[in-house]
Amino acid sequence: MLLRLKMFRLLLKITIYLLPYLAFEIGWPVWAFFVKALGHSVKYPYQGHFPLVLFSAFVWAVMAEHYKVTNVDELFRERTGARAAWSASIATAVALIAALYFSRNIVFPRRLLVCCIGVTLALTVLVHAAFRFLYRKKLRVGRPTRLLIVGADQFAHDAAIRLQRLSFAPCKVVAYVRLPGQEVAINGSRIYDLEHICALHPGNGIDEAVMAIHAAQFS
């Protein structure tokens, strides 16, 4: 389960970071179309803007991290993810407009910038929707991760309930390990004593173990 989540987070981050490049590829033709539709000629060339797009991608990556656009928890917590994407897009636009304002050597049409930011926002919402759909579809055809919870008190019981409610990492608690001095608060599940944990193996129907011990027990 943990490896699956790490790979999912990495893939989401990479996809979000690359969106400005795709946004420029889509945004420039859209901007050029509207410029021609208004009866003007397109004087800004399509080629030769990689450094500026690279800088825009860096600013976008910083804003995406700040507003948790790449955060898996937020991805499944929000219905569409548009709020975080909107905040990151506006912040990116403000930063880029400020950079263009104070730079005398860089020429970039403001309307093209707005168009690219709008495309980035739309792509971000679509990417979030696609990731949610694909991940949930994959989970429906697979089995949930079978967990062994280390701990058998009320704290461990509550932690197990929270884990099983996760929409992006479905799991099933199959057993608990009772630590010395703990009051058991578990019903209807296998409970092992700490001295028997060494005998457990994947053949017992367990995929991973999760520590669920309150910090007060370490003091």
Domain-by-domain residue ranges, the chain?
2-140, 145-218
Query: Does the structure show a pLDDT above 70 at 69?
Result: yes
Helix%, strand%, coil% for the chain, nearest 5: 60, 10, 30
pLDDT at 24: 94
- Which residues have CB under 8 Å from 160's CB, separation 6+? 147, 149, 173, 176, 212
Task: State the pLDDT confidence band at 48, using cuts at 50, 70 and 90.
Answer: confident
Tens of pLDDT along 187-207? Answer: 888 888 888 777 776 667 788
Assess whether pLDDT exceeds 70 at residue 81: no
> What's the pLDDT tens digit per position in 106-162?
778 888 999 999 999 999 999 999 988 887 776 655 567 888 899 999 999 998 888
Considering the domain 145-218 in this protein, what is its CATH number? 3.40.50
**Is the distance from CB of 113 to CB of 27 less than 8 angstroms?**
no
Q: How confident is the model at residue 79 (pLDDT cuts 50, 70, 90)?
A: low
pLDDT at 214: 83
What pLDDT, on the 0 to 100 scale, is given for residue 195?
82
For residue 145, the surrounding DSSP H or E stretch is strand 145-150
